Structure 1
Amino acid sequence: MIDYTVIGPGGAEDRRGDAAELRAAAAESAFVWVELDAPEPALLGEALEALGLDRFATAPVSIVHRRPKVETVDDAVLVLVKTVWYIEATQQVETGDLAFYTDGRALVTVRRGVVDPVPAVRRRLAAEPEFRAEGLPGVVHALFDAIVEQYDGAVEDLADDVSELERAIFSGERVDRNQEIYFLIRETLEFQNAVRPLVPFARSLKQRHGGTDVLRHPGFGAVAGHLLRVDAAIETCMSLLTTVLTAHQGQIGTWQNEDTKKISAWAAIAIAPTIIAGVYGMNFDHMPELHWTVGYPLALVLMALVCVFLYRGFRRNGWL
């Protein structure tokens, strides 16, 4: 049995029936909407076949990393978009997806993930006659617009974390943050992979080249522009992270050089008295000053003077 919604001028009515009843409802109403949450492949195939939308290669619903795409066959269109949400506590980008199968007379949506724009659109269908009058193109536009709005919020949170990381790196603290940078680059790349494949589609919408009537809703131009701005913002985050990574690696190289200089300077200071002590520790009978009363304190004073001289020289040259 298939759960579906029949939408007509008088409102929206939820029904449940088999494929024949779904086909009959689609023929007698303004349009029908089958909403599925990660269903069994057989149920999805049954719904698509009943509505004449079984013209696309249907990937298994269990596949998580499906690539966003737009396919058109005759008057039918399949739009697969990624839903995105950002977890601020762990700085992680999580994705789901929402697939639209439609020919302008029927709509099948398949959703996976936390983000669900469907309930808000269903409430509008039930409460707003002017929204129902827009027909199925209005529903597709509203769903697409809600997903892009979610992108906007996620990219703002991501940009805030990138900015905070940038400030931390240039704060003067000697902390290796390579792992944090690589982690944010990976999350930004996941976000970019969810949005970037839709950029050509957005450009065609912005130029009013939707291809099918269901994609020629007047609001799609604004949504497409919004999607392009989100893509540009993600690209800015990626460029900033790449620049920060290069700068941070330069910082680490500078820190290592400073450490090497300090170690070398202290080693040079330590080796001078070691050499003097080593020479006088040979205990040969005919060594100069070996039997002087002041020989031992003189050697100590000589060691101290050499150490002070080396310390001042290294300090003046910035090694210490």
Structure 2
Amino acid sequence: MLSSLRGAVRRGRPRPVDLSHPARSPLGSAVVNCVAYGKGGKRLEDSRGAAKALARVRKEGAGFVWIGLHEPHDGELAELAGLFRLHPLAVEDAVHAHQRPKVEEYGDTLFAVFKTVRYVEHSEFTASSEVVATGELMVFVGADFVITIRHGGHGSLGPLREELESDPAHLAKGPAAVLHAIADWVVDEYLSVTDAVRGDVDDVETAVFSVASGRHEAGRIYQLKRKLMELKRAAAPLDRPLQRLVERQTTLVPEDIRAYFRDVADHLLRTTEQLASYDALLDSILQAHLAQVTVAQNEDMRKITAWAAIIAVPTMVCGVYGMNFEHMPELRWTYGYPLVLVAIVTVCAFVHRAFRRNGWL
């Protein structure tokens, strides 16, 4: 089920836009959504406000609350932190962002950090093109709540929420199922962006080995390597946190959900392997490009040297006849001047032909 939307994205179909939920709530402008899910994963339509939604869920003894925020400040998160008893260190990380991917357990709350990525479309890849945009996604998971905090202008969870709501049986598995869906969505985005970057790598490779290859491809290669580094910084550190969720190092993820995280870990491994192969390929392309530049420079130097040798012939002869001695060879002969010119042209032609035969010109 979760793969259907991501498959549509990779095939070029746009994601559905999340227009069914209010963009603001009484909790503040940073709160994008606040929804309670009851027994069986059914959405409770009349639950508005975090406190009321949480009270209803706990009264019924089943379900959970899912609250989504976008770049909240301290004041906007303080009320939720008190209501759900979030650890101050985790709250500080969630507000200020710029965290490495990780999974930490604070008592009965799990705090996870993911790096989100987005491929930046461009008509032509240049040395200054943006290829990958990154953001952050923090997730608080408790026994009866999920709080997602998003940083950056992309990575909206609205379509993912709607997809989960279309499968109440999966939502009924609790907050851990939402955590898995988020991790799966994030890692699948890594795969999508990595596949898209392959097109830029192919373009650079084709340009370097083309007949009309320029000498300024190093800037594009370097820019692409920088963006691959951003992708690696987002994906590679997530390996250990996912292994922690798989290896029963937290009680907040039940056994039936761990199998799903194994699948996410496999996709992450595929992503990191692809990124490593692209990086190695770019290293080879860069070395080939530098070798081409060196060969071209050597060819230029040989041409300059050959023309300098040709020009040296008339320079030498003219230098001799410019010394103003009175007894110069053939100085007063009528055909002396044309003879010297013919001799100069003949010697220059002979030297030019020799250089052409040796491939210097």
TM-score (norm 2): 0.81
What is the CA–CA distance in structure 2 between the aligned matches of 1:63 and 1:309, rounded to whole Å? 76
Compared with structure 1, are the counterparts of its residues 240 and 209 closer, same or farther at alpha carbon in structure 2 (3 Å cutoff)? farther
Q: What value does the CA root-mean-square deviation take over the aligned residues?
A: 2.2
Equivalent residues in 2 for 1:1-320, closer than 5 Å:
1-2=26-27, 4-9=34-39, 11-13=42-44, 15-17=47-49, 19=51, 21=52, 23-28=54-59, 29-54=62-87, 56-59=89-92, 63=96, 65-89=98-122, 90-116=129-155, 118-175=157-214, 176-205=216-245, 208-214=247-253, 216=255, 217=257, 218-320=259-361
Query: How far has the Cα of 1:100 moved from its partner?
Result: 0.6
Q: Distance in 2 between the 1:296 and 1:215 partners? A: 103
The one-letter amino acid of 1:302's match is: A
Instruction: Map Cα deviations across residues 14-35 of structure 1 (whole Å, 9 max, x no partner).
Output: 533365x455245234211111
CA offsets, 1:177-204, max 9 Å, x none?
1111111111111111111111222344
In structure 2, relative to structure 1, the CA distance for the partners of 1:64 and 1:140 (3 Å cut) is: closer
Contact 1:5/1:12 (<8 A) preserved: yes
Report the CA distance between 1:63 and its aligned residue: 4.4
Call closer, same or farther: CA 1:204–1:318 in 2, change over 3 Å.
farther
- Runs of 5+ in structure 2 lacking a partner? 1-25, 28-32, 123-128
Q: How many residues align?
A: 318
**Following the alignment from structure 2 to structure 1, what is the Cα–Cα distance between the partners of residues 197 and 251?**
34
**Counterpart position of 2:11:** none
Q: Displacement, 1:124?
A: 3.7
Structure 1 vs Structure 2: percent identity of aligned residues? 37
Q: Contact (CA 8 Å) 2:207, 2:213: kept in 1 or not? A: no
User: Which AA in structure 1 matches 2:241?
Assistant: F
Offset of residue 129 of structure 1 = 2.8
In structure 1, how many angstroms separate the alpha carbons of the residues matched to 2:173 and 2:313?
A: 89
Compared with structure 1, are the counterparts of its residues 59 and 289 closer, same or farther at alpha carbon in structure 2 (3 Å cutoff)? farther
Q: Secondary structure at the match of 1:211?
A: coil
Task: Measure the CA separation in 2 of the matches of 1:146 and 1:297.
Answer: 85
Q: Is the contact made by 1:35 and 1:109 (CA closer than 8 Å) also made in structure 2?
A: yes
Contact 2:54 2:64 (8 Å CA) reproduced: no
Once the two structures are superposed, residues 5-64 of structure 1 have per-residue CA deviations (whole angstroms, 9 ceiling, x without a partner) of 111125112533365x45524523421111111122222232132112225333366646
Instruction: State the Cα distance separating 1:74 from its structure 2 match.
Output: 3.1
Counterpart AA for 1:298: L
Deviation at 1:91, TM superposition (A): 4.6
How far did 1:85 drift? Answer: 0.6
- Pick which of 257-266 and 208-217 moved more: 208-217
Secondary structure class of the residue paired with 1:39: coil
Deviation at 1:128, TM superposition (A): 2.4
Distance 1:99 1:111 in 2: 6
Partner AA of 2:139 in structure 1? F
Give the AA of the match of 1:286. Answer: H
Tell me if structure 1 keeps the 8 A contact 2:65–2:146: yes
Secondary structure of the residue aligned to 2:347 is helix
Deviation at 1:319, TM superposition (A): 1.3
Contact 2:180 2:260 in 1 (8 A): yes
